[in-house]
Structures are given as C-alpha cells and as structure tokens.
Amino acid sequence: MPVGRTHRLRHLRVFRGTPEDGGELVEYSVPVQEGMVVLDALHWIQANRAPDLAVRWNCKAAKCGSCSAEVNGRPTLTCKTRLSDLPEDIPVQVEPMRTFPLVRDLVTDVSWNYEVNRRITPFTPPEDAPEEAWRWQQEDIERVQEFRKCIECFLCQDICHVLRNHETRNPFMGPRFLVRAAGLELHPMDRADRTPYLRDGGGIGYCNITKCCTEVCPEHIKITDNAIIPLKERVADTYYDPVQVAWRKLFGRRSEGGSGQPIPGQPSADGS
Ligand code: SF4
Ligand code: SF4
Ligand code: FES
C-alpha cells in the first residue's frame, strides 16, 4: 500500500523476539485506510518493513482462532480488532499471548491445550439407544450448540488469572475446556461421568467465577454462566449431596446420565 495523501499514519509497537533474546517492542508507522484491522497493519509491516515478523493467522474472518494476541494489553483476535476502535493518541501495542510459551514475535506454543483436550472423556452415547432417543427437545439442542461455537482461539485461557499467573502448582484445565466438558456433560445422550476429572485433574475448584473469560470470548459464549457454573453445581451435587454420595458408593457413578433424563426405550438409572 503506497503512503498517499489519503492515508493517515498509525504507530504500532510490536513485540519482536524469542525466549532466548528476551524480545523488545519495536515501533512501526503504518499507513491506514478506513476499516483496517490490527492484522492488516501487521501484514503491512511484514510486506514493507519486517518480512521476518512471525504472525499466525489463517481465515481473517474471526473463525479459525489463529490470530490471537494481546492488543493494548487485552487478549483479542487481531483480525477482528479495528484500528479505528483503538485510542489514536497512543501507539497500538501488539504482544503475544502471555499465558503460553513464546515461540517468536507474536507466535506462542499453544500445544498444552491439546494435551488437556485429550484428557477429557469424549462423547459417550449408549450403544443400543433406539432411534427415537436421538430426537430431542430444541432447548436441549440449543444448550449444547452454544458450546460448539468455540473456535479454539484460547483467548479465554490467556486471560484467566489462574493460568496467566500460574497461581496454582496443580493443573487447571481452563475455561476453554470447561466449555468443552459442558458441551459433553449437558448433552442429552451422553452417559460418561466427567465429574472425577473436573474435580481432580481438571481443577474446576480453582475457578472463582470472575467472568474475565466470558468478556473476551469472540463467539460470545457465556462461559461462566452456562458452562462453568452448571459444572460446578454438578461436581458439588456428586460429591457433597448425601443422596448422590450414597448412590455413587453403590453404583460407582452419579445417579443419572448427562442430561439427567432417562433414555426413551431404555431402563432408567434406577432400573424402572
Ligand atoms: S471465570 Fe474462572 S475460568 Fe473464567 S477467567 Fe475467571 S477464574 Fe478463569
Ligand atoms: S470459549 Fe471463546 S474465548 Fe475460549 S477458546 Fe472458545 S471461542 Fe475462544
Ligand atoms: S485469522 Fe482466523 S480468527 Fe483471525
């Protein structure tokens, strides 16, 4: 893009470096046009000033979750953040997500998230459910559909203070994976019991419902209200409700399946 009279200059301070050299913020002046997003400015820098600038992106449509970074200290998708929405009197500061190990410049290693994902018991429907059991209420569909909107940008993981500040030496799965667990636990046909993992390996107790994760989610998933709080209630019921505790001792799991509803055509949990 040529620097013409119609283009104003915006100043960006972009993190450059590796874990070895410690990195620094480097200033760039970028000619901007109406509608430009932060990722456009980074691409201009790559094309015109720093071809070796490491930036991860794919769709430029807020759907792949690759371009996550911290803009003026706030975790955000750079392809969704308009320059015109940022204060003009200070440089736009772009840094990598702080929660994950730095690879280089704006790229971090998010592979830990995939390890956590593998620890969650996958969707476990009954093997012999009759066909009519797979027809369910629209409200049940909508409830789990919200969690399926996740694009795995890991912005919620980045802002969560438990992960960001490493406030615990024990593992905490983080909001993204509480969203995934909720999508499975609240699924009407799921029969796995993930409460032992949520309580122990997943460390759900570390979440103190600050709602920061909900505020940064680009898909507007109500992470705390719709995923974390129901899961916390489920864990509390399983381990602290005397009836559930007794049931668990007798049958080795909580008293009902994921939805709490018996499967049509199958005996309910109490055998009726
Ligand atoms: S609500 Fe829980 S998971 Fe979300 S940011 Fe706060 S502590 Fe982390
Ligand atoms: S829950 Fe939202 S913020 Fe978290 S990874 Fe998914 S889309 Fe990103
Ligand atoms: S480039 Fe795909 S979400 Fe930003």
> Cα–Cα–Cα angle for 200, 257, 149, nearest 5°?
75
Helices (H), the chain: 38-48, 111-118, 138-148, 155-159, 161-164, 175-185, 195-199, 212-216, 229-240, 242-251
Domain ranges of the chain: 8-108, 111-251
CA 185, 189, 190, 191 dihedral sign is positive
CATH number of 8-108: 3.10.20.30
- What lines the ligand 1 site, CB under 6 Å? 160, 162, 175, 207-213, 224, 228
Average pLDDT, the chain: 89
Pull the structure tokens for residue 253.
Answer: 């799991």
CA–centroid distance, residue 117 to ligand 2 (Å): 13
**64 CA: nearest ligand 3 atom:** 2
Rounded Cα gap, residues 41 and 122, in angstroms:
40
CA–centroid distance, residue 114 to ligand 3 (Å): 19
Rounded Cα gap, residues 180 and 231, in angstroms:
11
Over pLDDT 90: what percentage of the chain? 78
CA 58, 64, 67, 71 dihedral sign is positive
Rounded Cα gap, residues 41 and 47, in angstroms:
10
- What lines the ligand 3 site, CB under 6 Å? 57-60, 62-67, 77, 79
Instruction: Confirm or reject CATH 1.10.1060.10 for domain 111-251, answering yes or no.
Output: yes
Rounded Cα gap, residues 88 and 6, in angstroms:
17
- Does the pLDDT at position 267 exceed 50? no
Question: CA separation (Å) from 263 to 63, 92, 129, 186?
Answer: 35, 54, 7, 14
**What is residue 205's predicted lDDT score, i.e. its pLDDT?**
95
Instruction: Identify whether the C-beta of residue 68 lies closer than 8 Å to the C-beta of residue 155.
Output: yes
Average pLDDT for 15-44: 97
Half-sphere exposure of 227 (CA within 13 A, CB side): 30
Residues facing residue 71 across a β-bridge: 74, 94
Average pLDDT for 132-160: 94
189 lines ligand 2 (CB under 6 A): no
Q: Give the model confidence (pLDDT) of 228-266 as tens digits.
A: 999 999 999 988 777 666 766 666 666 554 333 333 333
pTM exceeding the 0.75 threshold for the entire prediction = yes
150 lines ligand 2 (CB under 6 A): yes
CA–centroid distance, residue 56 to ligand 3 (Å): 9
Q: Give the model confidence (pLDDT) of 63-98 as tens digits.
A: 999 999 999 999 999 999 999 999 999 999 999 999
CB-based burial label for 201 (10 Å; 0-12, 13-18, 19+):
middle
